[in-house]
Amino acid sequence: MSLSNKQLISEHFSKAAASYDGAAQLQLAVIERASKYLTLSTKSKVLDVGCGTANLVKFSQGNLYQGCDISQGMLKTAQHKVATCADYKNNFRQFNFEQADAHDLPFADNSFDVVFSSLAWQWCDLTKVIQQAYRVCKPGGQVVFTTLLANTLVELKQAFVALDTNNHVNNFLTIEEVKQQIAQAEVTCDVLEVIDHQTHYDSVKALLKELKAIGANTVVNRDKSTGLTRAKLQKLENAYPRHSNKVTASWQTLYSCINKPLK
Ligand SMILES: C[S@@+](CC[C@H](N)C(=O)[O-])C[C@H]1O[C@@H](n2cnc3c(N)ncnc32)[C@H](O)[C@@H]1O
């Protein structure tokens, strides 16, 4: 992942920090589902990598919640939320936040009982970020993560073909590619569950607006500037498949759990 792509991701998420929670219903549902894999106690030290606005806190409890994210804007929103929201502030004894890149975590080896990450690693080199998460996880602890797979936003990708041959939507890994990257990280996943989620909109414009509101509008290695004129947007609306006059977006989501053995 190049520095310019990382900067772009960080900028888009920082711009989206204020609108994120209002638009991130799917992301919240994915965290709630993933949190069922967590084994937590009042003593647990939890690291949330790519924590965004710290939504994991709503579905977990423990001693320390350490959030880290590449986006300063997301961290600021998260800090404000855990200090002020009733659903959040009593779930952990202590909260810390730090700006950090998932590829190079600034934490000591074997320091967290749980390392969690939801819908952040589809922009990362998966082998590297898994190795980092595993390194900072204590023996006997767990790494739980979710990421997006190749069938995500396939309808949008297909509709863009009507416009040009440029890359307008990220390329997500297939489950086979994910398995290869996990093998390269030299860890064993105890859970690899693929769930297809769908979200519905009145128009493609509404879908694109939501992607921007959650900061997920970065296209890694975008070929050219691909601004949408009114005419292009209309072409996209016409090309997008509709059911009952609604636009549907698919989100193929992987839920995974790695239990780190006690030596
Ligand atoms: C879709 S949001 C998910 C946030 C949160 N985990 C949730 O599910 O609500 C993705 C988050 O990952 C962060 N992110 C992306 N690349 C990252 C990286 N290399 N290191 C750390 N955070 C990263 C973004 O800044 C953003 O806050």
Q: pLDDT exceeding 90 applies to what percent of the chain?
A: 79
Residue 64 lies in a domain: yes
At 80 the pLDDT is: 97
d(CA 117, ligand 1 centre) in Å: 8
Residue 20 lies in a domain: yes
Residue 161 lies in a domain: no
Atom of ligand 1 nearest to the CA of 146: 8
DSSP letter at 90 equals: T
Residue 141 lies in a domain: yes
Substitution candidate for ligand 1 out of 20, 48, 74, 107 with most atoms within 8 A of CB: 74
Residue 130 lies in a domain: yes
Is the CB–ligand 1 distance for residue 14 below 6 Å?
A: no
- Is residue 202 scored above 90 in pLDDT? yes
Is the CB–ligand 1 distance for residue 120 below 6 Å?
A: yes
Residue 147 lies in a domain: yes
Is the CB–ligand 1 distance for residue 143 below 6 Å?
A: no
Q: Assign residue 12 the CATH number of its domain.
A: 3.40.50.150
d(CA 173, ligand 1 centre) in Å: 17
How sure is the predictor about 4, in pLDDT bands with cuts at 50, 70 and 90?
confident
At 140 the pLDDT is: 97
Half-sphere exposure of 245 (CA within 13 A, CB side): 1
Dump pLDDT digits (tens) for 108-167: 999 999 999 999 999 899 999 999 999 999 999 999 999 999 999 999 999 999 888 888
- Is residue 225 scored above 60 in pLDDT? no
- Is residue 221 scored above 80 in pLDDT? no
Residue 165 lies in a domain: no
Interatomic CA distance for residues 62 and 43, integer angstroms = 6
Whole domain around residue 95: which residue ranges? 3-153+170-200+215-222+253-259
Is the CB–ligand 1 distance for residue 114 below 6 Å?
A: no
Dump pLDDT digits (tens) for 35-63: 999 999 999 999 999 999 999 999 999 99
At 216 the pLDDT is: 79
Is the CB–ligand 1 distance for residue 34 below 6 Å?
A: no
Of 99 and 13, more confident: 99
Is the CB–ligand 1 distance for residue 124 below 6 Å?
A: yes
What is the domain count for the chain? 1
At 141 the pLDDT is: 98
At 222 the pLDDT is: 64
Residue 159 lies in a domain: no
Interatomic CA distance for residues 83 and 116, integer angstroms = 21
Interatomic CA distance for residues 10 and 68, integer angstroms = 12
